[in-house]
Amino acid sequence: MRVLGIDPGLTRCGLGVVEGSVGRPLHMLDVGVVRTPADMAVPLRLCRIEAEVEHWLDVHEPDAVAVERVFSQHNVSTVMGTAQASGIAMVAAAKRGIPVALHTPSEVKAAVSGSGRADKAQIGIMVTRLLRLTQTPKPADAADALALAICHIWRGAAQSRIEAAVAAAGRRAR
């Protein structure tokens, strides 16, 4: 199973592709961050993020996309941009019929570190270890995107089957 993890954000949007399955080794295929300048108009920043997400979907053809679930309790000054970027990522995947799953930060932390309250450094260490990388992906958004993809693979096939059915129903409805 190949999963594109997306840590949405307007200033930095992390993207990471991981291949693997439950009980098998995980492989990182790609990792990166899309940055958009704070002085650019928001619609144009969102356009750039959409173009990059489309590019990653074209290149990697993932079986699923895992996006961080954004909560309004988060940092108030950035949460609106984060929500908008997550919406763009979801639509880009759903339009292609690719199942989209949302995982909360706690779920992701618990999946890769065993604790829902792990800090950024711990997540970086575990992502590096689980993917057998020689160095920790930087910035943290890149490591978080990989952690999202790992979380999705490990949360198993049952959930994905449900989402695939939902996505297929959506395609038929359109």
Among 4, 28, 88, 118, which residue sits at the site for a copy of itself (rule: CB under 8 A)?
88
Among 70, 108, 118, 127, which residue sits at the site for a copy of itself (rule: CB under 8 A)?
70
- Whether 68 has a binding-site annotation, put simply, is yes
Q: Is 27 in the site for a copy of itself (CB under 8 A)?
A: no
- Whether 141 has a binding-site annotation, put simply, is yes
Q: Is 47 in the site for a copy of itself (CB under 8 A)?
A: yes
Q: What are the residues facing 16 on neighbouring strands? A: 5, 31
Burial class (CB in 10 A: 0-12, 13-18, 19+), 117: exposed
Q: The tokens 């970086």 sit on which residue?
A: 124
3-state secondary structure 138-171: CCHHHHHHHHHHHHHHHCCHHHHHHHHHHHHHHH
Active site (annotated) includes residue 7: yes
- Whether 7 has a binding-site annotation, put simply, is yes
Selected range binding a copy of itself among 21-29, 95-103, 116-124, 143-151, rule: CB under 8 A? 95-103
- The order of strands in the sheet holding 2-7 is 27-35, 12-19, 2-7, 64-68, 100-103
**Which residue, 28 or 64, has its beta carbon nearer to a copy of itself?**
64
Site string for a copy of itself, 126-155 (x = CB under 8 A): ------------------------------
Q: Is 64 in the site for a copy of itself (CB under 8 A)?
A: no
Selected range binding a copy of itself among 11-19, 45-53, 137-145, 148-156, rule: CB under 8 A? 45-53
Angstrom distance (rounded) from CA 83 to CA 19: 26
Kind plus residue range of the DSSP H or E element containing 123: helix 120-130
Q: Is 102 in the site for a copy of itself (CB under 8 A)?
A: yes
